[in-house]
Amino acid sequence: MSFISYLKDGISLGSIYAIIALGYTMVYGIAKMLNFAHGDVIMVGAFVILAAITKAGLSPLLSIILAVVLCTVLGITIEMVAYRPLRKASSNLAVLITAIGVSYLLQNVALLVFGADAKSFVTVINVPTLVLFDGQLTIKGITIVTIAACIIIMCGLTLFVNKTKPGHAMKAVSEDRDAAQLMGVNVNSTISLTFAIGSGLAAIAGLLLCSAYPTLTPYTGAMPGIKAFVAAVFGGIGSIPGAMIGGILLGVIEIFGKAYISSQVADAIVFAVLIIVLLVKPTGLFGKNVQEKV
């Protein structure tokens, strides 16, 4: 039964990675950049929820909405101020380094505002624990909510991208930015929209992450962010189902690594997965093989 219990923990953690990875994969697919600051937006979202509940005394639902709105605005602002001016830069490196700078900036602002010591996160999601097989398997409420949220988000995004006009615009921009522009797609607002969705999802990921692992520091988002990027690469960057499956697989690998090998080297195992994937199938599980042209 412990196997199933670990599997359930893995899927729960993996669902969080999947939600974060969706943000990475959409931004990468459309803006062709690795948004290093994405993980730190998660941290900002979690801090906003914590502050809204403990300091401002808002209701949980209201603070979640507030966090999603603030993170969306933050994502759009970051894109407009830091990334947009560099979109036509001659070097790909420029925007990558700027993204690292933004990540660093968010961490250090949080450090100044909230301090370095770990805060314990409040219980926001109150769903009763499910007990199965005469108490042999218990599933916490947060686990159920996390997995459900992940499935809903994934289905919603797939529908949005495939069925709506802005979704088609996103697909067009990710295929060929210049051609999309010629067809009348507003590239700037499409990229802004992508950042908005990704950052809004990051706020939800922050809530789920901190509900499952209730300690919050300014560096909380960094490591899950990087792992989620690994998940996005694993599933094939630019692909929505890929991010989902990659995220869940990675979560399961991490929890199994922790349980059966060693808790200290679990991170090393996760990153080794990345290197192996890049060696064997660089485009990931669902990625498209794109040839670079002159």
Partner 1 sequence: MADMKKSMSKTSKNNYITYAMVIAIFIVVQALSATGNLSRLLTGLLVPLCVYTIAAVSLNLVVGFSGELSLGHAGFMCVGAYSSALFSSVFADTLPSVPRLILAILIGAAVAAVFGILIGIPVLRLRGDYLAIVTLAFGEIIKNLINVLYVGVDENGLHVAVSSAGLNLAAGGKQIMKGALGISGTATLYKDIKDYFFLIGVILILITLFIVQNLVNSRSGRAITSTRDNRIAAESVGISVTKYKLMAFTISAALAGVAGVLYAHNLSMLKVSTFDYNLSILVLVYVVLGGIGNLRGSIIATIILYALPELLRGFSTYRMLIYAVVLIAMMLFNWAPAARNFRSRILERLRGNRKKKEAA
Q: Under the rule (CB under 8 A), what is the footprint of partner 1?
A: 28, 33-34, 82, 85-86, 88-98, 100-102, 104-105, 107-109, 111-112, 222, 226, 229-230, 233, 262, 264-265, 267-268, 271-272, 274-275, 278-279, 282, 292, 294
Q: How many CB atoms lie within 10 A of CB 251?
A: 25
Who's near 65: CB < 8 A, 6+ residues apart?
A: none
Output the smallest distance, CB 176 to partner 1, in A.
18
- Using DSSP bridges, classify how beta strands 137-139 and 130-132 pair: parallel, antiparallel or unpaired: antiparallel
Tokens 């709506």 correspond to: 164
In the three-class reduction of DSSP (H, G, I as helix; E, B as strand; rest coil), residue 132 is classed as strand
One-letter amino acid for residue 275 of the chain: I
Output the smallest distance, CB 226 to partner 1, in A.
6
Output the smallest distance, CB 127 to partner 1, in A.
33
Who's near 71: CB < 8 A, 6+ residues apart?
A: 41, 44, 45, 48, 199, 200, 202, 203, 206
Output the smallest distance, CB 1 to partner 1, in A.
28
Handedness of CA 184, 187, 192, 194 (dihedral sign): positive
* Angle between helix 222-235 and helix 2-31 axes, rounded to 10 deg: 80
Q: Are 266 and 254 in contact (CB under 8 A)?
A: yes
Looking at the Cβ atoms of 4 and 111, the one nearer to partner 1 is: 111
Output the smallest distance, CB 283 to partner 1, in A.
10
Looking at the Cβ atoms of 61 and 280, the one nearer to partner 1 is: 280
Report the b/e string of 58-77 with b at 16+ CB within 10 A.
Answer: bebeebbebbbebbbebbbe
Q: Are 251 and 16 in contact (CB under 8 A)?
A: yes
Output the smallest distance, CB 152 to partner 1, in A.
28
